[in-house]
Amino acid sequence: MKITLKDGSVKEYSEAKSIIDIAKDISEGLARVACAGEINGELVDLRTEIEGDCELNIITATDPKALYVIRHTASHVLAEAVKRLFPNAKVTIGPAIDDGFYYDFDSEPFSREDLDKIEAEMKKIIKEGHEITRFTLPRAEAIQYMEEKGEPFKVELIQDLPEDAEISFYDQGGFVDLCAGPHLMNTKGVKAFKLTSSSMAYWRGDSNKARLQRIYGTAYNKKEELAAHLERMEDAKRRDHNRLGREMELFTTVDVIGQGLPLFTPKGTKMIMKLQRWIEDLEDNEWGYMRTRTPLMAKSDLYKISGHWDHYKEGMFVFGDEEKDKEVYALRPMTCPFQYYVYKNTQKSYRDLPCRYSETSTLFRNEDSGEMHGLTRVRQFTITEGHLIVRPDQMVEEFKGCLALAKYCLETLGVNGDVTYHLSKWDPENKEKYIGEPEVWNETEQHIRDILTALDIPFVEDVGEAAFYGPKVDINAKNVYGKEDTMITVQWDALLAEQFDMYYIDQNGDKVRPYIIHRTSMGCYERTLAWLIEKYAGKFPTWMCAEQVRVLPISDKYEAYAQEVCRALKKSGVDATVDSRSEKIGFKIREARLDKLPYMLVVGQQEEADHTVSVRSRFAGDEGVKSLDNFIAEITEEIRNKTIREEMPSEEK
RNA sequence: GCUUCCAUAGCGCAGUUGGUAGCGCAACUGAUUCGUAAUCAGUAGGUCGAGGGUUCGAGUCCCUUUGGAAGCUCCA
């Protein structure tokens, strides 16, 4: 057989040979650093026997793909260490994940001290340098083997595998774990790892099943890479909006007000208002939207028509008891039906469509108490929410327009490169969660697929993520810790018009059901602000800053001029303040830097005499002396264009 | 809702085997009037989240409870 290597060279063997033996054949050095193989692009174990012609890439420790194998082996070392220290713990599963690995145990909870002990034990196991060997058993024998070892979770895993499956195990010096691999050849290959945290997890993610203890860790090829990763995690903590947003006094929470109900301070409110004014004007002036203003609550009757009463009652704040009270009200968890009744206010002709309604809409959702987090999961939030009532023949064009608007918003915020697009589909296996016919679902999903393809937007498809009334496009972003949240959603709805008896009159004078697009252009302000805080680490583009310029008089003598400068800036729409405290200029600059202000204007005798300002910015440091008029012209231009200036390297002290 | 951890001045923290509640920043008062990242001096601020228990004595140990964090589950 012929084996083509990565560099194009070809090796020929007369009989089947394992990848590790091929590596040894090439050089002993290569065999030492080999972590896995890649046969025709598929990651496989080094022990894999190659039987026919193929392309082989031997993955070495420095290859990023090796991390998956290193981490997987690290999770086995973790399991062995736990079994040594806690013999009663039962092992379950332990995969490699994006930035590390975890292993779930049925055990008493682990404390940080336990993790430290386990970490020390893992180091011992690695130092002992156990050879890792692989063997297989027929299914029945595998079950018996794991039963004898007293590992019921492993038995359950094997029972789910096909009858005729050959079950693979990995043995590292006596510790044997059911595993599909791939793994390193020796525990020594785990060179740099750290256990990061422990938490609770359910067996197979099912809250009705056993509660397990999950230990998270991370592993890298080199100690420096591990250190860099831990440094990134520290940086993420510094950027965390839930911490930085409070530090910067953008928002706060109060225990007597309640969980998931953030309060925005003047600074945070100003930022949100800048975003809101921008979006409202943009939608109304350039994208043909009409603004509505509808109630924050409604009688249960409305939600019964919309289907929310049956599908989403648990998530709503409901006032009153249906048994006792004549009328029951609920705060709205969405805007849709309210805007439908705006549409229904007058009879519409086909000429009136599309009707693009938008509203800066406050919504209420009764999330579970453990779900709330900073500004990203809250019980009251305000979203730039809209519904487009369109003729079926306009649907594709309008849906495209919604995505184009969303993309424009993301670009302006400077975050378009950080998102992923998802086509969220229904789940045909779970029909009771959705309304409408399967054919309609498949048809609309294909329409959206075509639109995304036409717009040249790369996307992934997620089963079971659709709204109950239709499929949608979700635009997701990751937070500093890599957790994904939906920022923007555009939803296709060919069904709810029926429930609300919405129609328009077509050319023939017939009543026709319109289609509906549920969409947001920038998402909800709370979540978007959280995202911006983390993206910019609090150093926002000038246009969205609550305080854009601070005028710093050298001494009290120049306060009058400083106030004059400030007034001139405010008159031009720039958010400016004066730091008139009797402090030294160095101190005022330090504070302004810590407040992450874009611009500081130092003014003293010279500036007052020449009607100039000494400009110091977050982007370029000392920008020199400019005439006041010039500075105002520049900064108003920067704000109007929503320019994102490049930050200079941090000189924080 | 579940598991673990945490809760001490406005914020960030320290507080020894249980023995008189502390530090830094901020705040306030005064002095200083200064040219690009911290001027000096002083003052005030706390039922140690709440409730109960053990003890001669609890910030510290135990129980209950409230809130926060991480993770899980859920998410129109």
Through-space separation of residue A134 CA and nucleotide B19 C1' in angstroms: 62
Q: Is the dihedral of CA A408, A411, A413, A416 positive or negative?
A: positive
pLDDT higher than threshold 60 for residue A211: yes
Give ∠ CA A23-A24-A25 in degrees, rounded to 5: 90
> Based on the number of CB atoms within 10 Å of its own CB, is A256 exposed (0-12), middle (13-18) or buried (19 or more)?
exposed
Through-space separation of residue A339 CA and nucleotide B73 C1' in angstroms: 33
Through-space separation of residue A573 CA and nucleotide B25 C1' in angstroms: 34
Residue A338 token pair = 């309210």
Through-space separation of residue A82 CA and nucleotide B4 C1' in angstroms: 17
- Strand A380-390 vs strand A355-364: parallel, antiparallel, or unpaired? antiparallel
Q: Note the pLDDT of residue A77.
A: 85
Strand B nucleotides, any atom under 7 Å to a protein CB: 1-5, 11, 31-39, 66-76
Nucleotide nearest A216, from its CA to each C1'? B71
Nucleotide nearest A587, from its CA to each C1'? B38
Buried b (16+ CB within 10 A) or exposed e, A131-163: ebebeebebeebbebbeeeebebbbebbeeeee
Which of A579, A580, A582 is closest to A547 using CA atoms?
Answer: A579
Q: Is the separation of the CB atoms in A530 and A375 below 8 Å? A: yes
Residue nearest to nucleotide B71 (CA to C1'): A199
Nucleotide nearest A518, from its CA to each C1'? B76
In angstroms, the CA A433 to CA A431 distance is: 5
Through-space separation of residue A206 CA and nucleotide B15 C1' in angstroms: 43
Through-space separation of residue A113 CA and nucleotide B16 C1' in angstroms: 20
Residue nearest to nucleotide B68 (CA to C1'): A255
Through-space separation of residue A143 CA and nucleotide B22 C1' in angstroms: 61
pLDDT higher than threshold 90 for residue A152: no
Nucleotide nearest A309, from its CA to each C1'? B76
Q: Note the pLDDT of residue A468.
A: 79
Query: Over the stretch A74-116, which tens digit does the pLDDT of each residue have?
Result: 888 888 888 888 777 788 888 877 777 888 887 766 766 677 7
Among A228-232, A365-369, A566-570, the range scoring the smallest mean pLDDT is: A228-232
Nucleotide nearest A97, from its CA to each C1'? B71
Residue nearest to nucleotide B37 (CA to C1'): A590
Range with top average pLDDT, A49-63, A314-328, A443-457: A443-457
Through-space separation of residue A160 CA and nucleotide B20 C1' in angstroms: 66
Nucleotide nearest A200, from its CA to each C1'? B3
**Contact partners, residue A366, CB within 8 Å, separation at least 6:** A314, A315, A316, A317, A379
pLDDT higher than threshold 50 for residue A250: yes
Residue nearest to nucleotide B36 (CA to C1'): A586
The pTM for the full model equals: 0.81
pLDDT higher than threshold 50 for residue A614: yes
> Based on the number of CB atoms within 10 Å of its own CB, is A49 exposed (0-12), middle (13-18) or buried (19 or more)?
exposed
Nucleotide nearest A303, from its CA to each C1'? B76
**Contact partners, residue A527, CB within 8 Å, separation at least 6:** A375, A376, A381, A485, A487
Mean pLDDT of A161-179: 79
Mean pLDDT of A472-499: 85
Mean pLDDT of A313-341: 85
Phi, psi of A148 (to 5 degrees): -65, -35
Neighbours of A301 (CB within 10 A): 11
Which of A367, A392, A394 is closest to A381 using CA atoms?
Answer: A367
Query: Over the stretch A418-455, which tens digit does the pLDDT of each residue have?
Result: 888 999 998 888 887 788 888 888 888 999 999 989 88
Through-space separation of residue A258 CA and nucleotide B64 C1' in angstroms: 22
Higher pLDDT, A612 or A365: A612
